[in-house]
Amino acid sequence: MTYRHPDRDQIRIEGVLSALGHPVRLSAVRVLDAGGEHNCGSVLRVLGITAKSTMTHHWRVLRDSGVIRQEPAGRENLLTLRRVDLDARYPGLLDAVLVGAATDGVTTG
């Protein structure tokens, strides 16, 4: 399976803000912000989510908005935060949202 990812210039502020506006997606982005590639299962464990199907929609929203890259790797999907693209497109936005989320104590539960 291959996923469609918007090019950097196709990333729109309204899509990014909408994607980050949900607490589960925002918490997932906070996990991915640690850097590197993460498989879906490891992010789910950190978030305390047991049903993979719960995140299918959230991964799609994050991917379609340009916030994450999701690539198949064997039986897994690897996730990375598109920080370079987001920072180039909207400098400081991701940092401001993540700092605000940490200050507000945003969690999944």
Domain ranges of the chain: 8-98
Which of these, 18, 14, 29, lies nearest to 70 by C-alpha position?
29
Return the higher-pLDDT residue of 44 and 108.
44
**pLDDT digits 0-9 by tens, 26-52:** 999 999 998 889 998 899 889 888 888
**pLDDT digits 0-9 by tens, 55-103:** 899 999 999 999 999 999 988 899 999 999 999 999 999 999 999 888 7
At the topology level of CATH, where does 8-98 sit? Arc Repressor Mutant, subunit A (1.10.10)
Phi, psi of 4, rounded to the nearest 5 degrees: -90, 130
Please report which confidence band the pLDDT of residue 106 belongs to, taking 50, 70 and 90 as the band edges: low
> Considering the entire predicted model, what is its pTM?
0.89
